[in-house]
Amino acid sequence: MVSLYYALPKEKESDCQMFNLSVQLLPVKMDEDENIYKLKIEVLYKDNDSDATMSILDIGLLTGFTVNTNDLDLLSKGRSRIIARYEMNTVLSERGSLIIYLDKVSHTRPEEISFRIHQKLKVGVLQPAAVSVYEYYDQTHCVKFYHPERKAGKLLQLCTDDECTCAEENCSMQNKDKLSNDQRTALVCETTQTSRIDFVYKVRLDSFTEDLTTDIFTVKVLEVIKEGSLDVGPLNKQHTFVSYPHCRRSLALGTGKTYLVMGTSKDIHRDDQHQSFQYVFGETTWIEYWPTEAECQTQKHRLTCLGLEEMVHQYQLFGCQQ
């Protein structure tokens, strides 16, 4: 009987007691026919007195990518060779990996191993690949991940504990410019065949945590304009919102600042382990900066503040006329 399971990849600092390892994927040539990247690996032996002897780099390859063997041949030949030798698809490696043998790893300055990899085939959901280094006689792996589009190869998943939801969608954008007050007010009661705005909150971002797979935002709900159908009584409570690391720039959220957040019921997930609800900054989530009272007195923010007040007033007075 064979049992198969998938575990979340993790970069454990506790596993990198013997080595410092960094992995970068740098674009070299990008065109319609083929994308070429340089995989730059730096490894340093964390010992005060001596270099590491025989060490091994196990380099996972991204789906649809091939290694430039000419580059590897140059690294492994000549008087100033950098690597001892390399192998593909051996028993030491998982399928699709490259094994590089190093005679030594310096303890004084990082060893750099760089070579090109070619994207021959584009796949729909490209998962990150792992690079690990370990001594031949002490196989404690130090692992790092890489991916052409995400820092450190972080997954397009939103994970808390060991539960994940798919995150293959576009980033939510913070609404900043040329907003229509009528559009904002109408959105509160928007209902389509596929979704409806389920909750509308005024929130303050209290803290931000960066994880390998997920950005975690802790917010306090300052005002409930429209209460969601799932999460009852959220006022004055702290809630967890999660997003994708590659969306951090488009969200542009600041700790201590206040925002209007409007989302659908599919953006709310029940966390049974902690008996709470977790929200997602999804593709359709409306996020807008809510100015302070002092800012509302300035010309820059006055119209926005009036529009926000009008939205709240209209909904509290008339609700959704449907």
CA angle centred on 233, ends 227 and 236, rounded to 5°: 105
From the first residue on, what is the mean pLDDT of each consecutive set of 10 residues in the chain (322 residues)? 50 73 90 88 91 91 90 86 82 66 92 92 74 87 81 49 52 68 83 76 93 83 90 89 81 93 86 76 87 94 92 88 66
- Spell out the domain ranges in the chain: 13-153, 157-318
Closest CA to 241 of 206, 194, 272: 206
pLDDT of residue 177: 60
Contacts with 156 (C-beta within 8 Å, 6 or more apart), sequence order: 125, 150, 166, 167, 168, 244, 246
Contact 105, 51 (CB under 8 A): yes
At 87, the amino acid letter reads: E
pLDDT of residue 13: 54
Please report, for residues 43, 59, 140, 203, 226, the alpha-carbon distance to residue 40 in angstroms, rounded to integers and kept in the order given.
Answer: 10, 11, 22, 42, 50
pLDDT of residue 213: 64
What is the C-alpha separation between 257 and 301, in angstroms, rounded?
A: 15
Beta pairing partners, 133: 57, 142
What is the C-alpha separation between 156 and 169, in angstroms, rounded?
A: 9
Neighbours of 75 (CB within 10 A): 19
Sequential DSSP letters for 184-235: HHHHTT-B-SS-BEEEEEEEEEEEEEE-SS-EEEEEEEEEEEE--SSS---T
What is the C-alpha separation between 206 and 255, in angstroms, rounded?
A: 6
Q: How many CA atoms lie within 13 A of 198 on its CB side?
A: 18
Please report, for residues 152, 171, 204, the alpha-carbon distance to residue 61 in angstroms, rounded to integers and kept in the order given.
Answer: 14, 27, 42
Specify the residue for token string 């939103």.
158
Residue 125: alpha-carbon gap to chain centroid: 14
What is the C-alpha separation between 84 and 77, in angstroms, rounded?
A: 8
What is the C-alpha separation between 47 and 322, in angstroms, rounded?
A: 70
pLDDT of residue 121: 83
What is the C-alpha separation between 64 and 72, in angstroms, rounded?
A: 19
pLDDT of residue 5: 44
> Selecting from 3.40.50.360, 1.10.645.10, 2.60.40.690, 3.40.190.10, what CATH number does the domain 13-153 have?
2.60.40.690
Contacts with 114 (C-beta within 8 Å, 6 or more apart), sequence order: 38, 39, 40, 41, 71
What is the C-alpha separation between 125 and 91, in angstroms, rounded?
A: 27
Interstrand relation of 97-102 and 85-88 (parallel, antiparallel or unpaired): antiparallel
> Does residue 172 sit in helix, strand or coil?
coil
> Selecting from 3.40.50.410, 3.40.720.10, 2.40.50.140, 2.40.50.120, what CATH number does the domain 157-318 have?
2.40.50.120
Contact 143, 56 (CB under 8 A): no
pLDDT of residue 205: 96
pLDDT of residue 1: 64
What is the C-alpha separation between 97 and 62, in angstroms, rounded?
A: 9
Q: What is the pTM of this model?
A: 0.56
What is the C-alpha separation between 160 and 316, in angstroms, rounded?
A: 35
